[in-house]
Chains A and B, each alone.
Chain A
C-alpha cells in the first residue's frame, strides 16, 4: 500500500478529466449558460446517455469482472426510475390539486387532498384510492431511500436464492431474465398500483422548480448525471482494484478454485450483485426525470440484453469500455431511429435506417462477439501496447 489508489489507476484521472471537459463544453454550448448550440432536447439525450453509461459500468462490474451475466440490471434501473417517479408525480399532482383547492372558500381537509390526488393520478386506471405502495410518495428523502432499498433488497433476496443453490452461467442468465419478465408483467397490471401500462408520466416537471425553465433544469440534471457517473466510475474502479478486486476476478475465471482457497464465493457475488443493482437504480433515478415518462415496457427483457451488448461492444472488464459502448450504441440508436440518418438509395430499394437500423445493430453484435471479443476496449489495448513499444 505504498502508492495511493489513484496513482495505481491513472486511467481514473484520464476519465475524470475527459468527463469534466465534456461537461464543461456541453455547459458552455447549452441554451441557459452559453451559445445555445445544444438544444434542450439534445441536452436531455446527452444527460440520459450519461445515466446509461453509469448502468453500463454496473453491468461491467457484475459481468465483466465477476462473470455473472445478469439479464436483470435494467429492471433495477427501471425500479429506480419508478421510485423517483412516484415522488415526482405525487408532489407535482399535489401542487396542482392544492392550487385548485385553494380557490375554494373553505380550506381542504387532508382527506380531500388525498382523494383529489388519487383521482388525478389513478383516474386513467379507473381508481381514485392511493395504493399502499405510494405511502411514502410525499417525502423525497424516504422515496430516495427506497431507490436504494427496494432494488437493493430485491437483488439481495434474488441473489441469495440464486447463488445459494449454485445456479451459475447461462442458467443464472435465464433466471435473471425470468425475474425481469416477472417484474415487467407485474407492473403491466393495473393492480400493481403503479398505473399499469400507462406508467408514470410528467416526470420532467420537478416539484419546486416550476418557475425554472426546462433548459436550466435539464442542465442541472445533466450535471447530476455527470457527477453520478464520475462517482460511480471511481467507486467501481476502487472495488475492482486491490485484493477484493482480485478475488472477484478470480471468481469469474475459476469459481471452484476460489472457493477451495477458502473465500466465500457466494458472499462476494452477492455483494457485487447487490451493489451493481443499487448503482443501476441510481442511474435510473437520474435517467427518468430526463426522459419524462416511465412505463413497464422500459423493463422489457430485451432492454437488459441490450445493456449486456453495450458492455460487450465497449469491451468487458474495462470500465471505460462500458462507458464507450453504452454512449456509442445508445447515441447511434437515437441518431438512426430518430430519422436523422441519411437514407441509402440503392436504385431498386432505398434503405431507410428507421427500418434497417435494428438489423444492422443485430448483425454488429454477431460481428463483435465473433471477431472482436474484447470489444472497442481491445482496440485501445492494442494502441496502448503499440505506444509502449
Chain B
C-alpha cells in the first residue's frame, strides 16, 4: 500500500514538474534538490525515495552525476542558503565548492560552513538501484553488464521502462540478449497490460532457467478462501472438504472470512473451565471428572448456557456450517487469462525440467557407480579372484588418500602432486598388501572366516594408527584447478569435472584390469592359480609368489582409488570404513570372480541408490537402508550375483 502511495506521489510530482517546465523556466538539478531539500537533509531511508525518484526521472544530463556523487558522500550543502554543491578539499583545510550544473568552481569556504550529506547504507543501495537506469546505457559494457546483475538481484517495477528503453541502442549482442531476456522476465512479473504480459509468458515456454520458473511461479500463487457460493477474483480450483482439506481447516477458513464464530481451542476451553470452577464443580460437573473430552465439552456447553462464556458451538453445528459453504484456492493474480497462460507454460517447462532432471540423475548415478566401482575393483581381485576377505581393504583406500595428502604437503603444485600421488599411493598400498599377505593371510588361506577376523584386527589397528598420526579432523586433498567447476549442459543438467575424472579413471582401471588379466603373463598365472593351484604349481608356476602379487595388485588399486575418493570426500581415518560394506556388496551382487560382474554390481547399486534418493528426496540414509534391503532380497534370487561363473570355475 505504501509503495503504491509513493509511486502515485512520484507521478504527481513528475506531473507537477512537467507543468512547471512548460510554464516557467525548465527545472535544474539544483531546483529539484531544493524541492526535496528537507528529506535529503533528513537522510532517512523511510522518506528519501521521492527525492531519488525525482532526480532519476528528471531527464537532466546531470542527474546521474549527482546521484553518483550523493552515493559516494561527495554532496555538500552550504548551511546559510541550503544550496547543494560538489566540493573539493584544499590543502589549507578549506573546501572549494563546485557548481552542480556547470562544474565551475564557486568559492573556497571553511568546512564548518558546510554540511556533508552522508547517506546511510540503505539509502546508498536505493541510489544504486536508481542509478541502474543510467548504467544500462553506460559506454562501458562491464558497467552495463553489472547493472543487469543488479536488476536480477532485486527486480522491481521501475526497472521495466528503463530496461525497455535501453534495448534498441545496445550494440553488444551478448548484452542485448541478456537485456531482452531480463525484459521478458520483468514483463512477466510487473507488466500491467495483460496482452503484453501473456506474450512475455508465452515467450518463456521451454525455458529451463531457474529465474524463468521464479518469475512464473508467483503468478500462480494461491490463497485458500471460504465463500458462501463462489469467491470473488480468480478461483483456481474448488476444494472438497474431507479430501483437500479437513473439516477443522475448512472451519478456520470460515472464521477467517467472518462467516462463522471461532470455536475455542482445547487450550482456551481448558482455561475457560479453569476460570469458572465453583465449589469444585464446573457447570455442574465435578472437576475430577473433567479428564475426558466429552465431559469438558459438556461443562463448557453448560457454562455457555449460564452465560459464563459467550457461546458454544457443538460438533453438529460446526459440521453444518462447514457444509453450507464452499471452499476455493484462488489466485492472487486477478486476471484469469494471465494465470491460464502461466499455468500452461509452467506445465510445459516442468515437463522439460523433469526430463532434464532424469538425465541429471542418470549422470549422478553414473558417477556414484564409478566411485563404487573404483572402491570395489581392488576387492574384486582380492575377494573375487583369490577368495580372501580383506576387511582392511577400506583402510588401504584410506592409506592411499593420506598418501595423497602427505604428497601435497611437499609438492604445492596440485597437478604435479596428484600425478606423483597416484603411483606413490599404489606403491605404498602395494607394499602394505604384500606385507599383510606374507605375514598374515598366507597362513589362513583355508580358513576364510578367520581371515575376516584377522584382517578386521588389522583394520582397526590401521584406523587407530591413522588417527594417532593425522588426528581426528578431516585433512584436505585438493584437486587441481582444472578439475574445478562443472560441465554444464543446461540449467538443470550439469556434472562436475571431478566426477568426470573419476568416471574416466574407473574406465582406465577396467581396461587396465582386463589387460593385466587377459594379456599378460601375470594375468595368465593368476587365473591358473585361481582355478587350480596344484596343477598350476606343477606347471612351474609359484603359487605363493602369484598370490602375493595378486594381493599386492588388489591393495595397490585400492590405494589409487583412495586418492580419487579423497579428492571429493574429506580424508579422515574413517574414510575406508564408509565404503567397505558397499564395496563387498558390489562384489557379491555383481558376481564373485568376474570384473564385469563388479561393473554390473557397481552400476546397479549406484543407479539404485540415486533412484531411491530421487523417490525419497533429501534422505540419503533411507536410500541406503532400502538399497541394502533390496540387495538382501536380490541375493535370494541370484545367490551367485548378476554374472555368475559357470562350470568348474565356479568352484565352491
A residues contacting B by CB (< 8 A) are 69, 104-112, 158, 161-162, 164-167, 169-171, 173-175, 177-179, 181-182, 185-186, 188-189, 191, 301-302, 305, 308-309, 312, 355-356, 358-359, 361-366, 369-370, 373
The CA of A185 and the CA of B609, in the complex, are separated in Å by 14
The CA of A370 and the CA of B621, in the complex, are separated in Å by 38
Q: Is the CB of B588 within 8 A of A171?
A: yes
How many inter-chain contacts with C-beta < 8 Å in the A-B complex? Answer: 158
Q: Is the CB of B452 within 8 A of A178?
A: no
The CA of A168 and the CA of B163, in the complex, are separated in Å by 73
Q: Is the CB of B457 within 8 A of A365?
A: yes
Taking each of B447, B619, B622, which has the highest tally of chain A beta carbons within 10 Å of its own beta carbon?
Answer: B622
- Ranked nearest first, the 8 interchain pairs of A and B with the lowest CB-CB distance are A365-B457, A362-B461, A358-B464, A182-B628, A107-B291, A362-B457, A362-B460, A369-B454
Cβ-based interface call for B463 (8 A):
yes
Cβ-based interface call for B456 (8 A):
yes
The CA of A309 and the CA of B452, in the complex, are separated in Å by 10
In the complex, residue of chain A having the shortest beta-carbon distance to the beta carbon of B288: A107
The CA of A109 and the CA of B282, in the complex, are separated in Å by 16
Taking each of B266, B273, B628, which has the highest tally of chain A beta carbons within 10 Å of its own beta carbon?
Answer: B628
The CA of A286 and the CA of B585, in the complex, are separated in Å by 33
Q: Which residues of B contact A105 (CB under 8 A)?
A: 274, 277, 287
Closest Cβ of chain B to A230, distance in Å, is 28
Closest Cβ of chain A to B403, distance in Å, is 20
Q: Which residues of B contact A171 (CB under 8 A)?
A: 588, 635, 639
Cβ-based interface call for B270 (8 A):
yes
Q: Which residues of A contact B157 (CB under 8 A)?
A: none
In the complex, residue of chain B having the shortest beta-carbon distance to the beta carbon of A71: B452
Would A309 and B457 be within 8 Å (CB), given that A166-B639, A175-B635 are in contact? yes
Taking each of A164, A169, A174, which has the highest tally of chain B beta carbons within 10 Å of its own beta carbon?
Answer: A174
Cβ-based interface call for B624 (8 A):
yes
The CA of A371 and the CA of B443, in the complex, are separated in Å by 10
Q: Which residues of A contact B637 (CB under 8 A)?
A: 165
Cβ-based interface call for B151 (8 A):
no
Can you list 30 pairs linking A and B with CB atoms under 8 Å apart? Answer: A105-B277, A106-B282, A106-B287, A109-B291, A109-B293, A110-B292, A111-B293, A161-B636, A162-B632, A164-B636, A165-B637, A171-B639, A173-B449, A173-B452, A178-B628, A182-B624, A182-B628, A182-B629, A185-B621, A185-B622, A185-B628, A302-B456, A305-B456, A355-B468, A356-B464, A362-B456, A363-B457, A365-B454, A369-B450, A370-B444
Q: Which residues of A contact B411 (CB under 8 A)?
A: none
The CA of A379 and the CA of B619, in the complex, are separated in Å by 51
Contact with A along B621-652 (1 / 0, CB 8 A): 11011001101110111010000000000000
Cβ-based interface call for B230 (8 A):
no
Cβ-based interface call for B179 (8 A):
no
B residues contacting A by CB (< 8 A) are 266, 270, 273-274, 277, 282, 287-288, 290-293, 296, 389, 391, 440, 443-444, 447-450, 452-454, 456-465, 467-468, 577, 581, 584-585, 588, 619, 621-622, 624-625, 628-629, 631-633, 635-637, 639
Q: Which residues of A contact B454 (CB under 8 A)?
A: 365-366, 369-370
Q: Which residues of A contact B458 (CB under 8 A)?
A: 362-363, 366
Would A309 and B468 be within 8 Å (CB), given that A178-B631, A179-B632 are in contact? no
The CA of A171 and the CA of B456, in the complex, are separated in Å by 16
Closest Cβ of chain A to B280, distance in Å, is 9
The CA of A112 and the CA of B625, in the complex, are separated in Å by 35
Partner of A369, one of B273, B282, B444, B585: B444
A interface, over-half SS: helix
Q: Is the CB of B468 within 8 A of A356?
A: yes
Q: Which residues of B contact A188 (CB under 8 A)?
A: 621
The CA of A355 and the CA of B266, in the complex, are separated in Å by 57
Closest Cβ of chain B to A310, distance in Å, is 11
Would A170 and B585 be within 8 Å (CB), given that A181-B628, A365-B457 are in contact? no
Task: Given contacts A182-B628, A366-B458, list 5 more A-B pairs with CB under 8 A.
Answer: A161-B633, A355-B464, A361-B457, A370-B440, A373-B450
The CA of A104 and the CA of B287, in the complex, are separated in Å by 11
The CA of A69 and the CA of B391, in the complex, are separated in Å by 14
Closest Cβ of chain A to B20, distance in Å, is 61
Taking each of A105, A358, A369, which has the highest tally of chain B beta carbons within 10 Å of its own beta carbon?
Answer: A369
Q: Which residues of B contact A175 (CB under 8 A)?
A: 588, 632, 635
Closest Cβ of chain B to A102, distance in Å, is 11
Would A69 and B449 be within 8 Å (CB), given that A104-B274, A178-B632, A188-B621 are in contact? yes
Q: Is the CB of B274 within 8 A of A106?
A: yes
Q: Which residues of A contact B460 (CB under 8 A)?
A: 302, 358, 361-362, 365
Q: Is the CB of A364 within 8 A of B457?
A: yes
Q: Which residues of A contact B588 (CB under 8 A)?
A: 171, 174-175
In the complex, residue of chain B having the shortest beta-carbon distance to the beta carbon of A176: B632
Q: Which residues of A contact B462 (CB under 8 A)?
A: 362
Closest Cβ of chain B to A70, distance in Å, is 11
The CA of A370 and the CA of B287, in the complex, are separated in Å by 75
Would A358 and B461 be within 8 Å (CB), given that A108-B291, A109-B293 are in contact? yes
Q: Is the CB of B624 within 8 A of A185?
A: yes
In the complex, residue of chain B having the shortest beta-carbon distance to the beta carbon of A296: B621
Q: Which residues of A contact B274 (CB under 8 A)?
A: 104-106
The CA of A171 and the CA of B636, in the complex, are separated in Å by 12
Would A177 and B581 be within 8 Å (CB), given that A312-B453, A361-B460, A365-B453 are in contact? yes
In the complex, residue of chain A having the shortest beta-carbon distance to the beta carbon of B273: A106
Partner of A358, one of B266, B287, B463: B463
In the complex, residue of chain A having the shortest beta-carbon distance to the beta carbon of B392: A362
The CA of A166 and the CA of B640, in the complex, are separated in Å by 10
In the complex, residue of chain B having the shortest beta-carbon distance to the beta carbon of A179: B632
Q: Is the CB of A189 within 8 A of B581?
A: no
The CA of A369 and the CA of B458, in the complex, are separated in Å by 12
Q: Which residues of B contact A373 (CB under 8 A)?
A: 447, 450
In the complex, residue of chain B having the shortest beta-carbon distance to the beta carbon of A355: B468
Q: Which residues of B contact A369 (CB under 8 A)?
A: 444, 450, 453-454, 457
Partner of B296, one of A109, A178, A185, A305: A109
The CA of A359 and the CA of B389, in the complex, are separated in Å by 20
Q: Which residues of A contact B452 (CB under 8 A)?
A: 69, 170, 173, 305
Q: Which residues of A contact B625 (CB under 8 A)?
A: 182, 185-186, 189
Q: Is the CB of B464 within 8 A of A362?
A: yes
Closest Cβ of chain B to A75, distance in Å, is 12
The CA of A29 and the CA of B454, in the complex, are separated in Å by 39
Closest Cβ of chain A to B384, distance in Å, is 12
The CA of A364 and the CA of B460, in the complex, are separated in Å by 11
Q: Is the CB of B459 within 8 A of A362?
A: yes
Closest Cβ of chain A to B464, distance in Å, is 4
Q: Which residues of A contact B639 (CB under 8 A)?
A: 165-167, 171
Q: Which residues of A contact B621 (CB under 8 A)?
A: 185-186, 188-189
The CA of A366 and the CA of B461, in the complex, are separated in Å by 10
Q: Is the CB of A191 within 8 A of B622?
A: yes
Q: Is the CB of B273 within 8 A of A170?
A: no
Would A363 and B461 be within 8 Å (CB), given that A177-B581, A370-B454 are in contact? yes
Closest Cβ of chain A to B472, distance in Å, is 11
The CA of A165 and the CA of B633, in the complex, are separated in Å by 10
The CA of A166 and the CA of B652, in the complex, are separated in Å by 12
The CA of A359 and the CA of B391, in the complex, are separated in Å by 15
The CA of A104 and the CA of B637, in the complex, are separated in Å by 61
Q: Is the CB of A308 within 8 A of B581?
A: no
Q: Which residues of A contact B287 (CB under 8 A)?
A: 105-107
Closest Cβ of chain A to B592, distance in Å, is 8
The CA of A348 and the CA of B454, in the complex, are separated in Å by 30
Closest Cβ of chain A to B22, distance in Å, is 65
The CA of A222 and the CA of B198, in the complex, are separated in Å by 78
In the complex, residue of chain A having the shortest beta-carbon distance to the beta carbon of B585: A178
In the complex, residue of chain B having the shortest beta-carbon distance to the beta carbon of A182: B628
In the complex, residue of chain B having the shortest beta-carbon distance to the beta carbon of A301: B581
Closest Cβ of chain A to B622, distance in Å, is 6
Closest Cβ of chain A to B453, distance in Å, is 5
Would A309 and B456 be within 8 Å (CB), given that A107-B287, A173-B449, A185-B624 are in contact? yes
